Structure 1
Amino acid sequence: MSDLEFWQYAAVALLFVWSGFVRSGLGFGGAVLTLPFLLMVYNAPLVFLPIIAMHLLFFSFLTIATAHVRARDGRAESTVNWPFLRYALALMIVPKLIGVAGVLTLPTNVVSGFIFVVVSVYAVSYLLEKPFKSHSRTVDTLFMVLGGYVSGTSLVAAPLVVPVAASRVRKHELRDTLFVLWFVLVAIKLAAFAWTGVDLQWRATLALLPFAGFGHLLGLRFHSYTLRADTGVFFRVLGGGLLVVSLAGLLRMVFGGA
């Protein structure tokens, strides 16, 4: 990134503020809602993916550690649903490793199109305050397995995982539970980057950390507001986030050839 112009540095910094805000405000979308814009500024996915991944590890760990201390001291109830995490990881870890290793290659457009269309239906149901719940262990299992595979090939598992989590986890637990799940999945992805010799962009990661941190603080305030608001507001925010994620993914497929 040393050959960028000033406006590109400024744009990247602002986009990492946005990434931090989305990540801590919703608990998902930090990659998929930021990466398309970053690539418009500088078309180098393997430059930005390690930065986004390491920021996620740092801020998710910080948030979960803070919540754990508050719960341990009796100042708040636990915000991580550990039974759901055991369920999710049991289903996702093998397809995650398959995706990372590239052992099984499915047509990207087929998988992505299926994900974004189905999740758009979920999102609209949330916006209408009538959240759809499959009531089917088979459908939930399919979503989680596909989410594991997709997270292995990219960093975009949220559209599949969030609807399942939202139907099984209380709203005050949703974000932090997802943070722990993303931490595990992203750590595997980063290990794969390091193993294959991808530059982890340590200098850029540290340089952009204050900008992502500012966005993170804004997102924490926004998240607190959604929890204080009624359930309808929470689901509308959740549905809006999912719909934007899905539309961004579809537009990228159509216009970016991804």
Structure 2
Amino acid sequence: MADLSVVQYILIALIFVWSGFVRSGLGFGGAVLSLPFLLLVLDEPLVFLPIIAVHLLIFSSLTVWMNNRKAAAPDHGPREGTVDWHYIGRLMAILIVPKMVGVIGLFTLPNQILSAIIFVIVALYSVSYIINRPFRSGSKAIDILFLMLGGYISGTSLIGAPLIIAVAAQHLPKEKLRDSLFVLWFILVLIKLGAFVWVGVDLQLVHHLWLLPAAAVGHVIGLYVHERMLRAETSLFFRVLGSVLLVVSSIGLVSSLI
């Protein structure tokens, strides 16, 4: 990113503020909601993916640690943790194989077909949340199929979150949804980051010095918004979730057809 203009640097910083905001506010979206905008500034995904991955590792672990420390404080009384470890274990049992397949590139579907399938499915889920009638597949087989597809996409590009969240949101209480997803993303992204290191991808460590504070600003704002959503009615939480998913799927579907 050495040859960029001042305007491009400013735009990248603002996009990383946005990335931090949606990540902490909703528990996902740091990559999928920021990468399309970043690529409009500089069309080189491998420049940004390592930065996004490191940011997720830092902020997800910090948030989960702080929230669980707060929950364990004596003045808060007996409270459960904010992470459903049992459900994460069940998810990882399904995700790990397709995740590794995606990481090492053993099986590749045409990008346009794969993207179109993903974003159509996500759009259907998102509309059901917006109208306050969350979709329930009623079938473990369908949920597993969506999770496997999400794991594969996560392995190839770090943007499999919408499919995974569409299933996880059905089974996790909203109080545990974000932090449980943070732990899941930490594990999945750590695998991907390890692959980057293995093949010698530049982790852009110098650019973390100015993009990490930008993401931190968005992260703090997102924490405040998330707390307000948790205190709001459940239907509002899912309408916001559905609206974000619809935006994601719309952008992705249009991009896949161009």
What TM-score, normalized to structure 2?
Answer: 0.96
- Match of 2:9, SS state, is helix
* Aligned-pair CA distance for 1:72: 2.5
Aligned residue runs from structure 1 range 159-238, under 5 A: 159-238=162-241
Provide the residue aligned with 1:44 in structure 2.
44
Report how many aligned residue pairs link the two structures.
255
For residue 140 of structure 1, the aligned residue among 138, 143, 148 is: 143
Is 1:99 the counterpart of 2:102 in the alignment? Answer: yes
Aligned equivalents of 1:135, 1:205: Cα separation in 2: 44
- Match of 1:187, SS state, is helix
* Aligned-pair CA distance for 1:78: 1.4
Aligned equivalents of 1:140, 1:126: Cα separation in 2: 17
- Match of 2:106, SS state, is coil
Aligned equivalents of 1:251, 1:202: Cα separation in 2: 32
Aligned equivalents of 1:77, 1:63: Cα separation in 2: 16
Summarize deviations over 1:32-76 as a string: whole Å, max 9, x none. 111111111111111011001100100001001112212232535
- Match of 1:183, SS state, is helix
- Match of 2:142, SS state, is helix
- Match of 1:98, SS state, is helix
Give 1:235's aligned amino acid. F
Asked whether the 8 Å contact 1:26–1:241 carries over to 2, the reply is no
Aligned equivalents of 1:131, 1:201: Cα separation in 2: 40
* Aligned-pair CA distance for 1:111: 1.7
Asked whether the 8 Å contact 2:127–2:242 carries over to 1, the reply is yes
* Aligned-pair CA distance for 1:157: 1.1
Aligned residue runs from structure 1 range 18-167, under 5 A: 18-74=18-74, 75=76, 76-167=79-170
Provide the residue aligned with 1:17 in structure 2.
17
Summarize deviations over 1:78-137 as a string: whole Å, max 9, x none. 111111101100000011011101111122222211111011011000000111111211
* Aligned-pair CA distance for 1:190: 0.5
Aligned equivalents of 1:26, 1:241: Cα separation in 2: 9
Aligned equivalents of 1:206, 1:113: Cα separation in 2: 36
Q: Greater shift after overlay, 181-190 or 242-251? A: 242-251
Aligned equivalents of 1:200, 1:186: Cα separation in 2: 13
- Match of 1:132, SS state, is coil
- Match of 1:31, SS state, is coil
Asked whether the 8 Å contact 1:33–1:248 carries over to 2, the reply is no
* Aligned-pair CA distance for 1:150: 0.8
Asked whether the 8 Å contact 1:119–1:243 carries over to 2, the reply is yes
Provide the residue aligned with 2:251 in structure 1.
248
Q: Which runs of 4+ in 1 moved over 6 A?
A: none
Give 1:34's aligned amino acid. S
